[in-house]
Structure 1
Amino acid sequence: MPAARVSQRISAIAESATLAVDAKAKALKAAGRPVIGFGAGEPDFPTPGYIVQAAIEAASQPKYHRYSPAGGLPELKQAIAEKTLRDSGYKADASQVLVTNGGKQAVYNTFATLVDPGDEVIVPTPFWTTYPEAIRLAGGVPVEVFAGPEQDYLVTVEQLEAALTERTKILLFVSPSNPTGSVYSPAQVREIGLWAASKGLWVVTDEIYEHLTYDNVPFTSIATAVPELGDKVVILNGVAKTYAMTGWRVGWMIGPADVIKAATNLQSHATSNVSNIPQIAALAAVSGPLTAVDEMKVAFDRRRKAIVAGLNAIDGVECPTPTGAFYVYADVRGLLGKEFETANGTARPQTSAELAALILDEVEVAVVPGEAFGPSGYLRLSYALGDDDLATGVARLQGFLGKAK
């Protein structure tokens, strides 16, 4: 029997559902179709001018035309350490920072460095689609702990305790959350962190949406709130969401020196240094003011309220109001199994994946089904797109979904 052409390890990886939906929407747009894309978590704003200018100036300097340290430019690592202390109160040395090619590489590096085959990682669910794939690539086992809309998509210590086994090594913690937009309160963060510390677990915390909270809801870093975790915490972050820099591809991980050294060794063979020009842009971002960020947040907040109101006006849709990030996670279980009029007759979607496909085909609106993030029955919509597109997209959804029988 001939050997498989693609390894089992890589064959088992699912394509990023969010990127797939975004790619399909953009391809349809390029073909002249009036598609509204709620798929990708990508701000519609340009990167602030002072950040772009820093990159332009760096591009003309020959020193940035050369290789640089695999772990990141020293000045950027220092700035990230200072920014982390400023924004979340967590003190770290520059030697504890690894600059990565976007947040995804930080996720991959972290699990590749911490996980041995068979190790279990507790993954609060709904989860961002990349987390379980990175865990599996490292030989680990993602253990899903689902929290539904009735608890604002926030897991409890009791749920985490029920998922604990002798193979559990890591708790993944994400607040504000992608895909739900939920934010844990300071008390909840403290309780969960103390539980993890009492079990001797590592905590990997993704804080990339730290600056995007609403309704006076605070961001709380579990690394700061629970010093009892000691040196068993890794912080993931990046410039993509806060500064409208998704295409610049600069993220980072912060952790114990030995873990960062090992992850840097891995990166030295995988990609080497992040492109120097985006690193200088990131330096300008993390060192500069948050004025532009605050202005973007005003728009996100306006869109958040508009999309929640618009979706909740549809019979069969229940959309909790998120307090962070720029996503809503709508419960559409009330629409599954119902009859929809289509261009070719009628359809009765039984899953949120089937419903999302139907929505794209019939009214040219791209959304991501719950299957990408956990159980079926939900749709994730990003409200990072422009106000006009948001209004048009929601109106199309109301017109189509509102006629379900």
Structure 2
Amino acid sequence: MKISQRIAASRPLATTAMHGRVEDFRNKSMGIIDFSIAISHFSPPASVLDAVARAMQDERTMPYTGVAGALDVRRSLCGKLERENGLAAQPNEVIVTNGAKQALYQALYAMTDPGDRVLIFKPHWPAYVTTCQLLGLEPVLVDLPDTVTPAFLADCPQADLVIVNNPHNPTGKVYTRTELEHLCAWVHARGAQVIVDESYEHLSFGPVHTSFATLCDWRALGVVTIFSASQSYAMMGWRLGFALAPGAIASAMQTLQGPITAACSHLAQVATAAAFDSGPQQHMIDEYRARRDQVLRQVADVPWLDMHCPDSGPYLWGDVRSLSSDTVAFAEDLLAEEGVAIMPGDALGVPGFIRIGYICDDVDTLVEGVRRLVAFGDRLLEQRAAA
């Protein structure tokens, strides 16, 4: 039996691996509070469920479509791009994918060759680095500053492609228009292509989200923008996403998708169009803001935890370096002793920090999980003081 060297040298994605462990515990009836990933407690929009129900009554509900997606679906997504993002696009520049991860993999595959350098700002979504490694690319990690300036960018190393995550996972940063203009000028001067992950575009708690592609000639520069329905529409398990790309890149992504999955299921495409046509879900954003503030109140006086207040997204990013820099061990002990799963910052490129997904389950479970986290950290602090 042979296992290829390229996969033998790889490791499972940290976020999905931790979530898999939690599922194993739950299957054994072990009560675990899972903060390691963001799984919304909301249901998908009613318009999505209605659209899928109607499609299921249609005698043509299960046709094969073109690999990039049904034409009417891609036309609908072009309408979303113009309406919400200020981007005029043609259907042949849109490809519907099984979630943002597939769009990312195919874009990186289509835009790079083995050995190319990919600039990634950290902390980062783990899939960026893992996908680069699978494709034989060289991830170049740079600390994301509070504010992106020309001086910061001038010190960044040369790269063939840059990944921009806006709004940002896990910090919740929403790039300002000025910051994006600096980035646009910099990549243009460096001749680098860009993948922009805008999966959380509808989860801002105030700051205005600007699509990077509106600030440049995205076709000439080589900009791929990725969108996801997972968090914005509480459709995590539906695996819905799409990408906007210059025609040649979209065609190349389609060439790769064809032998892997072909088109997404027709029902998923119907759901994708309905979700993005429904616009931002303000009731979800309001609830997430309330949950964010609840957690921040609970940890405000915790001496070993500095919890950043995010401007967007389903995660909280906390600094625990005064207690421990080994957040892998911290997460393992917390899971074993308190039954609470978190994501260690090491998995996102920054040891000494933890990521908490705070949108799962009911509020009482959220409060209890944070209470257990604080109790664990307090106990660890006492033990170290005694030692």
TM-score range, shorter chain: over 0.9
Q: Provide the C-alpha distance between the structure 1 equivalents of 2:75 and 2:376, rounded to a whole number of angstroms.
A: 52
Contact 1:145 1:159 in 2 (8 A): no
Instruction: Give the alignment partner of residue 246 of structure 1, picking from 233, 236, 243.
Output: 236
Q: Where does residue 307 of structure 1 map in the other structure?
A: 295
Q: Where does residue 322 of structure 1 map in the other structure?
A: 310
Task: Tell whether 2:8 aligns with 1:7.
Answer: no
Q: Map residues 236-275 of structure 1 onto 2, 5 A cutoff.
A: 236-275=226-265
Question: Which residue identity does 2:183 align to in structure 1?
Answer: I
Task: Tell whether 2:213 aligns with 1:223.
Answer: yes
Q: Where does residue 207 of structure 1 map in the other structure?
A: 198
Contact 1:71 1:99 in 2 (8 A): yes
Contact 2:172 2:315 in 1 (8 A): yes
Deviates more, 1:96-105 or 1:218-227: 218-227
1:252, CA displacement in angstroms? 1.0
Task: Tell whether 2:347 aligns with 1:372.
Answer: yes
Structure-2 change in CA distance of 1:207 and 1:301 (3 Å): same
Structure-2 change in CA distance of 1:228 and 1:62 (3 Å): closer
Structure-2 change in CA distance of 1:60 and 1:389 (3 Å): same
Q: Where does residue 66 of structure 2 map in the other structure?
A: 69
TM-score normalised by L of structure 2: 0.94
Question: Which residue identity does 1:401 align to in structure 2?
Answer: G
Contact 2:122 2:142 in 1 (8 A): yes
Q: Where does residue 133 of structure 1 map in the other structure?
A: 130
Local SS of the residue matching 1:335: coil
Contact 1:231 1:256 in 2 (8 A): no
Deviates more, 1:82-91 or 1:295-304: 82-91
Q: Where does residue 143 of structure 1 map in the other structure?
A: 140
1:229, CA displacement in angstroms? 7.6
Q: Provide the C-alpha distance between the structure 1 equivalents of 2:274 and 2:218, rounded to a whole number of angstroms.
A: 33
Instruction: Give the alignment partner of residue 175 of structure 1, picking from 151, 154, 166.
Output: 166
Instruction: Give the alignment partner of residue 328 of structure 2, picking from 350, 353, 356.
Output: 353
Contact 1:319 1:328 in 2 (8 A): yes
Q: CA RMSD in A?
A: 1.7
* CA deviation map 1:126-154 (0-9, x unaligned): 1101111212222211100023xxx44x5
Q: Where does residue 100 of structure 1 map in the other structure?
A: 97
Question: Which residue identity does 2:46 align to in structure 1?
Answer: G
Structure-2 change in CA distance of 1:281 and 1:323 (3 Å): same
Instruction: Give the alignment partner of residue 185 of structure 2, picking from 194, 208, 213.
Output: 194
* CA deviation map 1:310-340 (0-9, x unaligned): 234322111111101111111111111xxxx
Contact 2:148 2:179 in 1 (8 A): no
1:66, CA displacement in angstroms? 2.5
User: How many equivalent residue pairs?
Assistant: 380
Deviates more, 1:43-52 or 1:360-369: 43-52
Contact 2:62 2:266 in 1 (8 A): yes
Q: Where does residue 381 of structure 1 map in the other structure?
A: 356
Q: Provide the C-alpha distance between the structure 2 equivalents of 1:383 and 1:185, rounded to a whole number of angstroms.
A: 25
Q: Provide the C-alpha distance between the structure 1 equivalents of 2:8 and 2:150, rounded to a whole number of angstroms.
A: 35
Task: Tell whether 2:82 aligns with 1:118.
Answer: no
Q: Provide the C-alpha distance between the structure 2 equivalents of 1:282 and 1:201, rounded to a whole number of angstroms.
A: 30
Question: Which residue identity does 1:129 align to in structure 2?
Answer: P
Question: Which residue identity does 1:163 align to in structure 2?
Answer: C
Q: Where does residue 280 of structure 1 map in the other structure?
A: 270
Q: Provide the C-alpha distance between the structure 2 equivalents of 1:20 and 1:122, rounded to a whole number of angstroms.
A: 25
Structure-2 change in CA distance of 1:66 and 1:227 (3 Å): closer
Q: Provide the C-alpha distance between the structure 1 equivalents of 2:328 and 2:136, rounded to a whole number of angstroms.
A: 28
Structure-2 change in CA distance of 1:313 and 1:226 (3 Å): farther
What runs of 5+ residues in structure 2 fail to find an aligned partner? 383-387
* CA deviation map 1:247-273 (0-9, x unaligned): 111111111101101110111111101
1:68, CA displacement in angstroms? 1.2
Contact 2:87 2:214 in 1 (8 A): yes
TM-score normalised by L of structure 1: 0.90
Task: Tell whether 2:207 aligns with 1:232.
Answer: no
